[in-house]
Structure 1
Amino acid sequence: MMTEHEAADMLCYSVRALQNWRHRGGGPRFVKVSARSVRYRSKDLLAWIEERTVAHTSE
């Protein structure tokens, strides 16, 4: 499992973007370890990337 910093690096997004997605929805799935600790599974990040992979702009 990855910290939010590691996940943000993998996705080339900021930690703040991940935090916003967790609050608003729409981001990759995550594991809430405790009230202040969040982790990401690499398979969930890869699935999130795959869901957004398109072949052309009309998709």
Structure 2
Amino acid sequence: MDRLLTVDQVADRLGTGVRFPRRLIEERRITFVKVGRHVRIPESAVEAYVDAHTVEPVRLRRAGLWRAA
């Protein structure tokens, strides 16, 4: 079973304020678990969110960039 993180812990891991994970929860853009009135987010859900929103760098060919028009 995954470790369940608090909203504060998720904010620390993402390097954001607490509002960002709360907005993800409100918009249902991340998996979460309600325990009574507490909200917890599985570690794997945070990793999946980061993986899904990671943008790889684009490699440009150098020859085409420096030619004059």
- TM-score range for the pair, normalised by the shorter chain length: 0.7 to 0.9
What is the alpha-carbon distance in structure 1 between the residues aligned to residue 13 and residue 57 of structure 2? Answer: 23
TM (norm. structure 1) is: 0.76
Indicate which of 17, 20, 23 corresponds to 2:23: 20
CA deviations over 1:6-56 (Å, ceiling 9, x no partner):
111001121112112222233x2111112x200111111001100011213
Structure 1, gaps ≥5 residues long:
none
Identity of aligned residues (%): 29
Which letter does structure 1 place at the counterpart of 2:41?
Y
What is the alpha-carbon distance in structure 1 between the residues aligned to residue 47 and residue 16 of structure 2? Answer: 14
2:32 maps to 30
RMSD over aligned CA atoms reads 1.5
Which structure has the bigger radius of gyration?
2
Tell me the number of residue pairs that the alignment of Structure 1 and Structure 2 aligns.
55
Structure 2, gaps ≥5 residues long:
59-69
